[in-house]
Chains A and B, each alone.
Chain A
Amino acid sequence: MRIRDLSPSDFRAQLGGDGIRLATGPFNCRLQSGIGEIADELARLYAHHTLVDSSAFTDFHIAVQPGHGLRRWLRPQALFSVDSVEPFTPLPRAQALPMLEWGLNWCVTAYSQHILVLHAAAVARGNRAAILPAPPGSGKSTLCAALVNRGWRLLSDELTLISLETGQVMGLARPVNLKNASIDIIRAYAPDAFLTRPVHDTTKGTVALMAPTAASVEAVDAPATPTWMILPRYRAGTDATLTPMGSGNAFLQIADNAMNYHILGAQGFEAVGRMVDSCQSYGFEYSRLDDAIAVFDRLAAEAESAAR
């Protein structure tokens, strides 16, 4: 059973009660919130995710609740907690939904030292993954959202998970976090995609979340092999250009974008080395999304024909 099979009122009641339990790739999450106004958008963002039985093991017990006491009415707040621990200062109530997403990212990062966690987007064609590590503002999420709406499968927008045993990418297929100008760009580029209403004045500016495609979520448990490591950079007016990157530089780019490289020690070194060995690595400048996607499609077609 998937979230989309729940009626809006059932979803709302469970969210406000014992919680919505859903699977996102390798993690089972329980989401609770007494902030009713996020329910409808949340249900659409996670529409295709599977529901998990309440007797199953839950990795993260997460809640976003209204502030205590007077703060319910006076400049209302949203409080994030994971299993009753509140790791962050509260945010304004209007930011409850992005807070839930960021908090969930924090959980994955803080509690997952059994895998390599990269600050990177990842998309796949079949079982071949393109990994896009990049600093904020490089256009990573915009490019990722565009690819996902043109036939690529979303593995993750923010955190790429690499198994230390197999070296494979494990997908999360959670919502894509769009910021500022990219919100309108993606609205225009993919009118069918579901985007939440923009939330203004967050620490990242205006943000909106885009729901992953049904196909991405339904295939989330199929791992993908790191095949391309592409460092995107949006630059107005340029043609889409791939520049091959040496393996030393590629290694540093991946290690530098790994959240827990320093924690994993030798295992982290091995994992990044293995990734570099299995990937073609490129720097990538682009300005027009259609051109960028043509480049990605060409890479996928080349890999496909080389495999035949």
Chain B
Amino acid sequence: MSLLVQVFRQPDEIRRLQAHEWDLLVRQARHANLLGRLHHRLLAAGLAADIPQRPANHLLSGAVMAGQQHHSIRREVRFLRETLAPAGIPLILLKGAAYVAAGLPAAEGRLFADVDILVPREQLGDAESALMMTGWQSTALDAYDQRYYRRWMHELPAMQHIFRGTALDVHHTILPPTARLKPDPRLLVEASVEIPGLPGVRTLALPDLILHSATHLFHEGEPDNLLRDLTDLDALLRHLGTTPGNWDVLTARARQLGLEGPLRLALRYTCRVLGTPVPAGLDCLGAGGPGQRMLDAIYSRVLRPQHPSTADILSPLARKSLYIRAHWLRMPPHLLAYHLAHKALFPPAALTKPLSDDKSHEKPGAKKAA
């Protein structure tokens, strides 16, 4: 088990760490985008005094960065409401933006690159126009990527605000229409809830937030953020568990939406990796068949901080398999063959940028069709 995961499970382990182990912990946390969350976790466990100065600086730095992002997300939410409300379009927040706006424990220390919203399919065109009128534009993508998103995906090509630089993903459902699982987005919209104190701002209901998080993690998660996403699920499930009866609601909802598969995997790996408390019988920890053993082999490797210190000889293969699996679940074989062939012939440009000392801060890069 990686040091980072060990400390997440058992925060008071840090009392025994030597300087070089702190070094490794900070590096793993940075690679997993979990510095800020680790900071909150250790403080919540009353361990502030047990963190030596140098690592404390890095953890605090991550938490400050997350705090600034939350601040700007709350501001963007106000702008989005002002844009969408006059057009009669509900503002339904997904993922990180939902956690932050609703003040859920899953927001703590979370870093993220964009705001995700859900718009009813029939209002998608109106929403895109309204957003463009207030300064959001489709990020520069080639014709193939535009077509890929608009024909096959569950979201518009990523948008970015021309002045504020914030990135926005506009979803009309939570899985590509080409995917094998087809949860009905109308059910998600109907069950969405208004955030107390924020009129006109809604999020998916808690069980749906969990199911979306699980679906995202096991369908399209980028390896570098999978552990971060799993800690989201951990926080969401712990929050759910504080109300008795909620577990039944969650499993019934998964059945209704046809998302039992992703939920099963979510429960299995939060329990296995992070020790999330789940009622007996729901933990999905059974050995399973060869398919499950294959998934275990993959996920046991990608649900680590993606840092060289945790990699083994099969890690590159696990990352590759995950990519193939994600596409396999999202597209029928003929589309998959066509898409992968296109990506092989025209690989996306590298995401590095020229070194310069000006003060331009990093903006989330244009998102390519993955």
Contacts and interface: CB of A to CB of B under 8 A. Distances in A.
A265 B68 contact: yes
Contacts of B71: 265
A55 B17 CA distance: 12
Interface in B321-347: none
Interface in B350-370: 350, 352-357, 359, 362
Contacts of B61: 111-114
A54 B19 CA distance: 10
A113 B65 contact: yes
Interface string A86-113: 1111010000000100110110001111
Interface in B147-186: none
Given A28-B54, A57-B55, A102 B68 contact: no
Contacts of A106: 355
Q: Which 4 A-B pairs have the closest CB atoms?
A: A113-B64, A88-B355, A113-B61, A263-B68
Contact of B58 (A59, A89, A99, A105): A59
A56 interface: yes
A203 B355 contact: yes
A262 interface: yes
A274 interface: no
Contacts of A285: none
Contacts of A204: 357
Nearest to A83: B27
Contact of A263 (B58, B64, B354): B64
Interface string B1-45: 000000000000000001110110011001100000000000000
Nearest to A59: B54
Contacts of A91: 355
A57 B357 contact: no
B19 A55 contact: yes
B68 A89 contact: no
A111 B60 CA distance: 10
A284 interface: no
B52 interface: yes
Nearest to B68: A263
A136 B58 CA distance: 29
A28 B26 CA distance: 14
A119 B360 CA distance: 12
A144 B349 CA distance: 40
B57 A112 contact: yes
Interface in A58-75: 58-59, 61
B355 A103 contact: yes
B20 A57 contact: yes
A230 interface: no
Listed residue (B30, B55, B61, B67) with the most chain A CB atoms within 10 angstroms of its CB:
B61
Nearest to B54: A57
B108 to A, nearest CB: 16
A228 interface: no
A114 B355 contact: no
Nearest to A258: B359
B245 interface: no
B19 A57 contact: yes
B239 to A, nearest CB: 27
A87 B57 contact: no
Contacts of A111: 30, 58, 61
Interface in B62-88: 62, 64-65, 67-68, 71
A105 B357 contact: yes
Nearest to B57: A114
A207 to B, nearest CB: 11
Interface in A22-53: 26, 28
Contacts of B22: 57
Contacts of B30: 83, 111
B281 interface: no
Contacts of B19: 55-57
Contact of A86 (B52, B57, B352): B352
